[in-house]
Amino acid sequence: MVNLNSFKDFFVNKSFNSWIFISLFITFFLSFPIISLIFNVLLNYNSDWNIVLNIEIWDYLFNSVCIVFFQSIFVVVFGVSSAWLITTYDFPFRKVVDLFLLLPLSIPPYIAAIAYGELFDYSSYFQIFVRENIPFLNDINFFNIRSLPGVIFIFTITLYPYVYIISRAAFSEISYTYNEIGKTLGLKQLKIFFKVFLPLAIFPITGGVILSILESLNDFGTVQYYGVDTFTTGIYKTWIGLGDINLAAQISIFFLFFIFIILFLQKRFLSNEKINLKTSSRKETSLLPSGNLKKIFLITFCLFPAILGFFIPFIFLLFNSIQALEIFVSKDTLINTFNTVLLATLVSFTIIFLSLIINYSARIKPTKINLFFNKISSLGYAIPGSIIAIGILVPFTFMDNFFINIFKNNFNLDINTFFTGSIFVLCFAYIVRFFTISQTNIESSFYRTSKNIDDAAKCLGKKSYFILFNIHIPLMSLSIFLSLILVFIEILKELSATLILRPFNFDTLAIQVYEYASEEKIIESTIPSLIIVVLCVIGIIFISRINDHLLKSGKR
Amino acid sequence: MVKDKNIEIENLSQTKDNKKILDNINLSIPINKVVCLVGPSGCGKTSLLRAISGLDNFSSGRISFDNKIISKPNYSVPTENRNIGLVFQESNLFPHLNVFKNVSFGSKKKKYKDIQKETFEILKKIGLPHYANVYPHQLSGGQKQLVAIARSLLTKPKLIMMDEPFANLDERLKNKIRDITLHLLQKTFTTALIITHDPDDAMFMGDFIAIMNNGKILQFDTPENIYNNPSSSFVARFFGETLSIKSKVNNKKAKTIFGPINITNSKNGKEIEIVFRSEAFNITKNKSKNRTKKIKSRIIAVRYISDNSYLHLDILNNSFKKHIHIKVPGKFIPPKNKICYINIGKKNFFVF
């Protein structure tokens, strides 16, 4: 009897091990590009490195540091101030303004760059108006947007929502009683903000700033279009221009080092995880009332970033696309839209599936190794798309050459490349890069479900996969849906990895925008841009609805 | 002591971070009886429950159900195959399922009709048949707990374990729910292990009580024996208010401020502890000719609670200044600050 039981038990235990095994596999899969990059640099050290190091890499570094520094300041000014006003004061159209403030997320920086590039062009109405009417500004070089400050401007207005979302959540979680205590101690509202709320929320806020920085470092379209060289353009140039993948890998590693320094600094100096926040969701009634003049000020102030980041580019796209309606119905556009949506759907479902497995595995076996997998697998978002692309390209090019040689030597056959330039490789890059988004969401929804729920179901005689499908997935269905949309939007906008990895004769909407824009066919480029933006806006409206719902039901 | 054993825990030990959480636990849970596991918080009650349920592993010992080993180090029948029920402090009903689906969650029946019949049967027993379509968040705390118990009972578990099931309920509701629970367990002939930190709960629910401290089971017995023959001063102090006096044995007698107490089976000079329950004290008149010594005390406060008078007294003795409580049946309300005298009877104190 006992023997039979232990036999059975062996298999049951084995099923537990299989969860770990699958996690291990997924983690390896996700960290593969980085591992391959490191190995490549160690194995193929390229002496051309010195040339690049001497001349260009310091330019890349200077430009990237400038962008990171100024962008950080401006996104904080835009994002934190509007988040504070929205969570503290009551004014008309508050909810609408709140949604508007999120909308710049639907405009990829390169699309905003195209729009503002046209609007501030030498021959634009704006420049002509300024030159003719303001005497001391008639210099033709007045505000050249195709410059480093222009790039910083574009990144600020399109990326501040990352800071806005996070600080808004942080401010509304900090118990409102702190505000009341501050007042009874005789502090003015502004002083309460600087002395209580800002210090308490500093870690999440810097988290938001880091996210926006990672986005701008990932960007390729904007810096390329405005002719400001950064690491991303450097990597692209070395690969496409010089065709030197080893050198591109070396620059990537240097760039990665730069990113990890930023991440380390944030963790080291700004972490206040020790502070145990007394949190409570704030009720609508606790918003402060304001007078009529103040109301007008509040609305204008909060709308300002949204107007710059969304409405101006959006209206630009609308007006110009009307002139190019025939492209809208063209075969290319339809095929590209179909390609993009299909790709985004496929990848986002895969990502959700993988993150469910890796998180559930960590839940039923919370061993150190599983928790480590969890951490490693969510590094992808810190790594720019172009680096991931190079990291994937290196080993697959090697494998392709290997197969081509085998077929050539043994069967005397000329075959095409096998992996590089396939949809599979592109999907792989997307999964690595955007896995973090669903990972953090799914992880926190697992965390919110009491472990006793699992135990109760186990005692009722249910197996772990049954519990996953019948308890956890239904319970976190909203979070899953939210992650799906978030990943979907990111893939719609993604350009830098796609540009390197896209298959031959396969374009996404983002690629179409980029190609039109680089041929200076601005009007044509507005059509695919508009499709991306509209799809993203729909997604963002969904996201904000779901978030509100989660907030109300206390699940956030 | 108990012959109908069905759940047997032998020499169970568990260590976590070099600390012994469970220290050589031996416990036989008799069939169809309710056993209450009682002890202060952090004494290892929940660890024992998790070990029995198979949710946690342990370092040595074994657990058997019906003489069949289900768990020992390096071998463990997974929780889902043990056929046990578990009820937590927070009910942990599945929030996305209604009461009917929650209760029928563990059902092994195939046909919907059978499941329905079975579920409504148990819902009737807890008095909530018309709540079948209600979702957990619409239930009160007590109802949630009843549904959680029903959910476990539906699978006809060999053993149902409850971890502080009444701790989140207010006093009145608790009394009602634990009454329903007790009768439900009796009606369904279920073996139960109920964890509680509250000695009242244990006395009310248990056919047997196991008292635990620092990872050890100090005494396992019927409630009467636990109360009347506590095995240690800790057990005596745990159930009810007590006053403890340290003394030395001298000539088979121990000196206390209440006069000498006969100690039959101790050597001379041995340090002993005498624990008095508050029932041990009587209020007497100064002149009464009782053998034991009378102690002068002052009445600090008197409260009349459900036909008992509850007296707060300060003992007025320079070497022994203590505050004690005495429960007197009936209405007895002397004025505050009045001086009175107390002595001890023959029962309700224990020598260790």
A90 and A32 in one domain? Answer: no
pLDDT tens track for B5-17: 678 888 888 888 7
Q: What are the C-alpha distances in Å from B111 to residues A463, A470, B108, B120?
A: 21, 19, 9, 14
Q: In this complex, do B79 and A12 lie within 8 Å of one another by their Cβ atoms?
A: no
- Position B291 pLDDT exceeds 80: no
Do A404 and A336 lie in a common domain? Answer: yes
How many CB atoms are closer than 10 A to CB A187? 16
Q: Taking 60 as the threshold, does the pLDDT of residue A286 lie above it?
A: yes
- Within 8 A by CB and 6+ apart from A327, the residues are A333, A524, A527
Domains parsed from chain B with CATH numbers: 5-238 (3.40.50.300), 242-351 (2.40.50.140)
For the segment A2-27, the average pLDDT, to the nearest whole number, is: 60
* Cβ within 8 Å of residue B340, ≥6 positions away: B283, B296, B297, B298, B299, B313, B334
Say which range, A108-117, A361-370, B194-203, has the weakest mean pLDDT: A361-370
Burial track B165-186 (b if 16+ CB lie within 10 A, e otherwise): bbebbeeebbeebbebbbebbe
Name the strand (E) or helix (H) holding B312.
strand B308-315
Residue A3 — very low, low, confident or very high, per pLDDT cuts 50/70/90? very low
Nearest residue in A to B87, CA atom: A456
Sheet holding B68-72, edge to edge: B19-30, B5-16, B60-65, B68-72, B75-76
Of the pLDDT bands very low, low, confident and very high (cuts 50, 70, 90), residue A4 is very low
- How do B159-163 and B192-196 pair as beta strands? parallel
Mean pLDDT (whole number) for A405-420: 74
A387 and A480 fall within a common domain: yes
CA nearest to B249, candidates B260, B233, B234 = B260
> Rg of chain A's alpha carbons, rounded to an integer?
25
pLDDT score at B2: 44
One-character DSSP codes across A375-441: HHHT-GGGS-HHHHHHHHHHHHHHHHHHHHHHHHHHH------SSTTSHHHHHHHHHHHHHHHHHHH
ipTM summary value: 0.71
A438 close to A487: Cβ distance less than 8 angstroms: yes
**Is the residue at A495 inside a domain?**
yes
* Number of domains forming the structure of chain A: 2
A12 contacts on B by Cβ (under 8 Å): 78, 81
Q: Do A401 and A294 fall within a single domain? A: no
- A97 and A246 belong to one structural domain: yes
Identify all chain A residues contacting B86, using CB atoms and an 8 Å cutoff.
455-456, 459
Min distance A455 CA to chain B CA atoms (Å) = 7
Q: Determine the residue of chain B that is closest to A10 in CA distance.
A: B75
What is the predicted pLDDT for the residue at A5? 47
User: What's the rounded Cα separation, in Å, for the pair A32 and A39?
Assistant: 10
Closest by Cα among B14, B46, B36 to B211: B36
B86 → closest Cβ in A2, A12, A456? A456
Residues of B within 8 A of A467 (CB-CB) are none
Tell me the residue range of the domain where A248 lies.
46-322
Q: What single-letter amino acid sits at A41?
A: V
DSSP H or E segment with residue A458? helix A451-459
Q: Are residues A298 and A330 in the same domain?
A: no
Inside any domain, residue A7 = no
Q: List strands edge to edge, sheet with B349-351.
A: B261-262, B253-254, B242-250, B271-277, B349-351
Burial string for A26-47 (b: 16+ CB within 10 Å, else e) reads: bbeebbbbbebbeebbeeeebe
- Is the pLDDT at A12 greater than 50, yes or no? no
Q: What is the pLDDT of residues B71-130, one digit of tens each?
A: 887 788 888 888 888 888 887 888 888 899 888 888 888 888 989 898 998 999 888 889
Neighboring chain A residues of B165 at a CB cutoff of 8 Å? none
Judgement on whether residues A186 and A105 belong to the same structural domain of the protein: yes
Instruction: Please check whether residues A384 and A307 belong to one and the same domain.
Output: no
Is the pLDDT confidence value at B258 over 80? no
Query: Which of residues B31 and B346 earns the better pLDDT score?
Result: B31
* One domain, residues A313 and A363: no
Residue A430 lies in a domain: yes
Q: Which of the four pLDDT bands, split at 50, 70 and 90, describes residue A246? A: confident
Per-residue pLDDT at A73 exceeds 90: yes
Which is more confident, A145 or B191? B191
Higher confidence at residue A508 or residue A200?
A508
Give B-chain residues touching A462 at CB under 8 angstroms: 80, 105-106
Distance of CA A421 to the CA centre of its chain: 24
Mean pLDDT to the nearest integer, A228-244:
81
pLDDT at A10: 43
**Taking phi first (over 0 means left), then psi (-120 to 50 degrees means alpha), and beta for anything else, what does residue A299 get?**
alpha
Domain-ending residue, one of A293, A322, A351: A322
Residue A5 covered by a domain: no
Q: Report the residue from A2, A453, A459 with minimal CB separation from B94.
A: A453
C-alpha distance from A370 to closest chain B C-alpha (Å) = 18
A436 and A373 together in one domain: yes
Question: Do A430 and A33 contact (CB within 8 A), yes or no?
Answer: no
- Taking Cα atoms as reference points, which of A470, A448, A484, A234 lies closest to residue A354? A484
CB-defined contacts A:B, below 8 A: 68
State which residue of chain A sits closest to B102, comparing Cα positions: A457
CATH code, domain carrying A465:
1.10.3720.10
Cα separation, A421 vs A423, whole angstroms: 7
Mutate to test the interface with B, among A459, A462, A476 (most CBs of B within 10 A): A459
Say what percent of chain B tops pLDDT 70.
Answer: 96
Partners of B96 on chain A (C-beta within 8 Å) are 471, 474-475
Residue A308 lies in a domain: yes
DSSP B191-202: -EEEEES-HHHH
Please check whether residues A423 and A455 belong to one and the same domain.
yes
Res A17 pLDDT > 70: no
Q: How many CB atoms lie within 10 A of CB B319?
A: 5
DSSP one-letter code for A174: B
- Domain closes at, from A275, A299, A322: A322
Please give the mean pLDDT across all residues of chain B: 84
Q: Are residues A291 and A362 in the same domain?
A: no
Measure A553 CA to nearest chain B CA, in Å.
Answer: 11
Residue that finishes a domain, picked among A269, A291, A322: A322
pLDDT higher than threshold 90 for residue A159: yes
Residue A1 falls inside a structural domain: no
Average pLDDT over residues B139-148: 89
Q: Choose from B23-37, B76-90, B285-299 the range with maximum mean pLDDT.
A: B23-37
* Helix, strand, or coil (residue B308): strand
Residue B268's closest CA among B287, B256, B253, B288?
Answer: B253
What is the mean predicted confidence (pLDDT) over A21-44?
Answer: 82
pLDDT for residue A141 is more than 70 = no
The CA distance from A57 to A230, in Å, is: 8
Q: Is A476 inside a domain boundary?
A: yes
Chain A residues whose C-beta is within 8 A of a chain B C-beta are 1-2, 5-6, 9, 12, 450, 452-453, 455-463, 471, 474-475
User: Does residue A4 fall inside a structural domain?
Assistant: no
Q: Which of B92, B105, B148 comes nearest A450 by C-beta?
A: B92
Nearest CA in chain B to A460: B106
Q: What pLDDT score was predicted for residue A89? A: 86
Cβ partners under 8 Å of residue A484, min gap 6? A348, A349, A352, A438
